[in-house]
Amino acid sequence: MSEPPRPPGAGNPDDPTRPFHPYAGNDPAPGSTPPPYEPPRAYEPPRAYEPPPAYEPPPAYGPPPGYGPPPSYGYQQPGHGAAPTADDRTWALITHFGGAAGAFLGGGLCGWVAPLIVLLAKGNQSPAVRAEAVKALNFQIVWSVVGVIGWASACALIGFVIIPIAALISIVFGVVAGLKAVNNEPYAYPLTLNLIK
């Protein structure tokens, strides 16, 4: 028969001289000190609301943190690295105006000569000059091919229409590109193919 529960402090059923302990069997080993008594924590009111730190968006332009500036290829945009020097602008002017002059003097066939000379002479020394020379060379090659087609079809009388149109396009856009190069403005030729990289 089981014994009814005893109120706290009414004694221990195993040893009537010891007071009743609710954690009987979990007593510390003999000779060791019992764990210290920890009173229940007092009520702590909630802290005042602290807003999170303000959001700062990353910079809109520029390399990510930890990276250097991007490599510069070709024509430098304002604010993106070093601008072309006066010497670079002079060579870009020679490239574009030389292409227009070659197209005029060669009947639409020789506009590619000046850009090729500039590319070979200064292309390895200045990325800005190389980019301008490659643009002019690609454009002038395309329209020199059109001029060759015009000369080849001249016997059918249609060539006499193609030749002046090809020469005129080479001259006009060569002059426009040269003026843009003088003012340090990027210019992309229309009606061209990227044959040379």
The 10s digit of each residue's pLDDT in 150-159 is 878 877 777 6
Nearest partner of 189 among 86, 96, 118, judged by Cα: 96
Residues 164 and 123: beta-carbon distance below 8 Å: no
User: What does the angle CA 173 – CA 177 – CA 180 come to, to the nearest 5 degrees?
Assistant: 140
Given this model, what pLDDT does residue 136 score? Answer: 92
Given this model, what pLDDT does residue 63 score? Answer: 59
What are φ and ψ of residue 37, in 5° steps? -80, 130
Given this model, what pLDDT does residue 121 score? Answer: 92
Given this model, what pLDDT does residue 60 score? Answer: 63
Given this model, what pLDDT does residue 78 score? Answer: 43
Given this model, what pLDDT does residue 119 score? Answer: 92
Q: Which residues of the chain have pLDDT under 70?
A: 1-31, 34-35, 58-82, 159
Angle of helix 113-122 versus helix 86-105 axis, rounded to 10 = 150
Given this model, what pLDDT does residue 134 score? Answer: 92
Average pLDDT, the chain: 76
Kindly report, residue by residue over 16-44, the tens digit of the pLDDT: 555 555 555 555 566 677 667 777 777 77
Given this model, what pLDDT does residue 4 score? Answer: 63
Given this model, what pLDDT does residue 118 score? Answer: 92
Three-state helix/strand/coil letters over the chain: CCCCCCCCCCCCCCCCCCCCCCCCCCCCCCCCCCCCCCCCCCCCCCCCCCCCCCCCCCCCCCCCCCCCCCCCCCCCCCCCCCCCCHHHHHHHHHHHHHHHHHHHHCCCCCCCHHHHHHHHHHCCCCHHHHHHHHHHHHHHHHHHHHHHHHHHCHHHCCHHHHHHHHHHHHHHHHHHHHHHHHCCCCCCCCCCCCCCC
Residues 122 and 133: beta-carbon distance below 8 Å: yes
Kindly report, residue by residue over 162-173, the tens digit of the pLDDT: 888 888 888 888
Given this model, what pLDDT does residue 77 score? Answer: 46
